[in-house]
């Protein structure tokens, strides 16, 4: 019934649950009761648009899309997808360490490339970090990233015991 909110909690009486059992709290969308540790990259956009390089909430760590953009506006490894992926993975590793995690805790990565012909170079860099860890991984081609000189963007999710 539209507009009904029997519990008065603002969700209209709707409680979304996954179709299978998960550990308590894993499916909750509200993390206000969970301490968050946010790591900044120092980018001017972080406060303006509201994001962090990485966030740890309980045992879960999410590292935002990471590119080869440099603080001075330059690009590490300009024109070289492998070098850009290596740089992004180093930034991700630093962000993980800042929240008490390591690449060994990563369970999922997502890689975005502007040219699918770069997949061997990007996956070579990914394999140099994750070949023994073997997280679930996805690589997709996108029409563009936030700046035209960026060729690769990588995200990572980790769980810290």
Question: pLDDT tens digits, residue range 44-80?
Answer: 778 888 889 999 999 999 999 999 999 888 999 999 9
Q: 26-40, 74-88, 101-115: which range is least confident on average?
A: 26-40
Q: What 8-state DSSP symbol labels residue 15?
A: -
pLDDT band at 31 (very low <50, low <70, confident <90, very high): low
Q: Look up residue 106 and give its two tokens.
A: 């990563």
| pLDDT of 157 over the 80 cut | yes
Domains of the chain: 36-159 (3.30.1330.40)
pTM of the model: 0.79
| pLDDT of 10 over the 70 cut | no
Average pLDDT over residues 96-103: 96
Estimate the crossing angle of helix 119-130 against helix 81-98, to 10 degrees.
30
Structural element, H or E, at residue 87: helix 81-98
Compute the half-sphere exposure of residue 93: CA atoms within 13 Å on the CB side of its CA. 13
pLDDT band at 131 (very low <50, low <70, confident <90, very high): very high
- Rounded Cα gap, residues 7 and 124, in angstroms: 52
């Amino acid at each position: 019934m539209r507009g009904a909110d029997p519990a008065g909690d603002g969700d209209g009486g709707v409680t979304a649950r996954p179709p299978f059992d998960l550990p308590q709290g894993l499916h909750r969308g509200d993390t206000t009761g969970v301490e968050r540790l946010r790591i900044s990259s120092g980018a001017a956009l972080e406060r303006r648009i509201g994001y962090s390089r990485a966030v740890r909430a309980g045992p879960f760590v999410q590292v935002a899309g990471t590119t080869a953009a440099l603080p001075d506006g330059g690009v590490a490894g300009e024109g070289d997808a492998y070098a850009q992926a290596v740089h992004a993975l180093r930034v991700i590793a630093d962000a993980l360490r800042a929240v008490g995690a390591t690449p060994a805790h990563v369970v999922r990565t997502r890689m975005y490339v502007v040219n699918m012909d770069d997949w061997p170079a990007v996956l070579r860099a990914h394999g140099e970090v994750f070949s023994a860890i073997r997280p679930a991984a996805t690589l997709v081609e996108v029409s563009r990233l936030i700046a035209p000189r960026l060729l690769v963007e990588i995200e990572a999710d980790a769980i810290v015991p």
